[in-house]
Amino acid sequence: MNVYGVVVHGGAGRLRQGTKRKVLAEVEKAAVKGFKALNNGCSSLDAVVEAVRVMEDSPLFNAGVGSHLNLNGEIEMDACVMDGRKLDAGAVALVKSVRNPVLLAKLVMEETDHVLIAGRFAEEIAKRHGLKVGEVYTEKAIRIWREGMEKLRKGKVKYLQRLRGFLDSMETVGAVAIDRRGNLSSATSTGGLPLKLPGRIGDTPLIGCGTYADNESGAVSVTGIGEVAIKLVLAKTICDYMAHGLKAFEAIHEGLLLVKERQSNLPIGLIAIDRGGNIGIGHNTPEMPWAYMTNKDGRILSGLSFSEVNK
Ligand code: ASP
């Protein structure tokens, strides 16, 4: 039997009190949406885009409408899609007002000769193609920004500590999928780290760092501190493990060991699918909401942390 299915994550970190059930319902909704696309014969690329779009439309996540603010109190979103058939990829960075940056990343892939477009012209492409553009500030993002600025002003936290201090506000979203024809795809979308420096681009839109898919190995979406994933070229590294024969969950295990050995176990979360349709989910943070659905299981599976997968 050809396995097809989709896995999603809602960001590595620690969930805030009172949000857990809602977040779980949203990641499930995203996975179901992606799986329905696969069931209807759509490509894995369509499935990951559909799944990520659901989470970008939810203010619960740090992507699209729920994006966090940078140090200046502005929104700068990053997103990426990759199609493992021919390694086609599209990404955007520093986007301020597009509601679904994942759709814009797909446009970059399909309508331009480039892979990554940052800033104003990316917004221009969105407008030209009729994507929804407008206010994406939420009260939650503004409150988190105010609280963070207060801590910084009091000098309570320094740079890396500051990143750890925002563990409960990461909430980036991503999806990986394999379709009926065995094609693999990946998509990731984020508002980036809260209070990041203006102009900072994380791992999400950098091919091989936060997002990668190759039919010859697997598909990976990364969440956590982008700088860690960039230094380790983490998504591609995990795909390489799969190319060398590791199953998705083994490759993720190796990836987390690498983070522990080389990057002091700074916060990272990972999802993957390999060519055989095996699924991998892992994180070194207290939580990372996830959900998946395959034709093999025929039902939605979800949890707030990886250990729950074995329950
Ligand atoms: N990886 C994202 C970034 O560094 C943040 C996250 O995953 O929450 O921009």
Residue from 223, 227, 259, 266 whose mutation best tests the ligand 1 pocket (most atoms within 8 A of CB): 223
Walk me through the domains of the chain, giving residue ranges and CATH numbers. 5-303 (3.60.20.30)
> Looking at residue 310, what is its pLDDT?
41
In the residue annotation, 19 being an active-site residue is answered as: no
| pLDDT (0 to 100) of residue 166 | 62
pLDDT of 156: 61
Mean pLDDT of the chain: 93
pLDDT digits (tens, 9 = 90+) for 144-195: 899 888 877 877 655 545 555 566 667 899 999 999 999 999 999 999 998 8
Closest by CA to 275, choosing from 211, 182, 181, 174, is: 182
This prediction's pTM? 0.96
What is the arithmetic mean of pLDDT over 86-110?
98
Cα of 295 vs centre of ligand 1, distance in Å, is 30
Q: Is 165 exposed, middle or buried (0-12, 13-18, 19+ CB in 10 A)?
A: middle
Q: What is the 230 CA–ligand 1 centroid distance (Å)?
A: 11
211 lines ligand 1 (CB under 6 A): no
Instruction: Output the pLDDT for position 150.
Output: 85
Ligand 1, atom 4, residue with closest C-alpha: 226
Segment 244-270 shows an average pLDDT of: 97
Q: Which neighbouring-strand residues pair with 291?
A: 8, 302
pLDDT at 275 over 90: yes
Of the residues 19, 112, 138, 172, only one is catalytic, namely 172
Ligand 1 pocket member 221 (CB < 6 A):
no
Task: Report the nearest atom of ligand 1 relative to the CA of 200.
Answer: 9
The Å distance, Cα 24 to ligand 1 centre, comes to: 19
Residue 17: pLDDT band with limits 50, 70, 90? confident
Cα Rg, the chain, nearest whole Å: 17
Question: Beta strands of 102-248 (E only): which ranges?
Answer: 116-118, 173-178, 184-190, 211-214, 218-224
102-106, 111-115, 122-126, 161-165, range with the lowest pLDDT: 161-165
C-alpha separations of 90 from 127, 157, 185, 305 in Å: 17, 35, 12, 30
Dihedral pair phi/psi, residue 170, rounded to 5°: -85, -70
pLDDT tens digits, 193-238:
988 999 999 999 999 999 999 999 999 999 999 999 999 999 999 9
The dihedral through the CA atoms of 251, 252, 257, 258 has a sign that is: positive
Q: Give 113's DSSP letter.
A: S
- Provide the token pair at 59: 């203010």
Distance in Å, CA 164 to ligand 1 centroid? 12
Q: DSSP states of 71-106 as a string?
A: TTS-B-EEEEEEETTTTEEEEEEEE-SBS-HHHHHH
Q: Which helix (H) or strand (E) element contains residue 128?
A: helix 120-128
Any ligand 1 atom below 6 A from CB of 189: no
Give the position, in ligand 1's atom list, of the atom nearest the Cα of 191. Answer: 9
Flag whether pLDDT at 62 surpasses 50: yes
Helix ranges (H only) for 154-233 are 159-165, 226-232
Distance 92 CA to ligand 1 centre (A): 14
170 lines ligand 1 (CB under 6 A): yes
The answer to whether the CB of 280 is under 6 A from ligand 1 is no
Pocket test for ligand 1, best of 16, 76, 186, 193 (most atoms within 8 A of CB): 193
Ligand 1 centroid to Cα of residue 226, in Å, is 5
| Pocket probe mutation, ligand 1, options 225, 266, 290, max atoms within 8 Å of Cβ | 225
Of 87, 84, 114, 118, whose CA–CA distance to 101 is shortest?
118
The pLDDT of residue 92 is 98
Residues 6+ positions from 150 with CB-CB distance below 8 Å:
none
Name which residue sits closest to atom 9 of ligand 1, judged by CA.
192
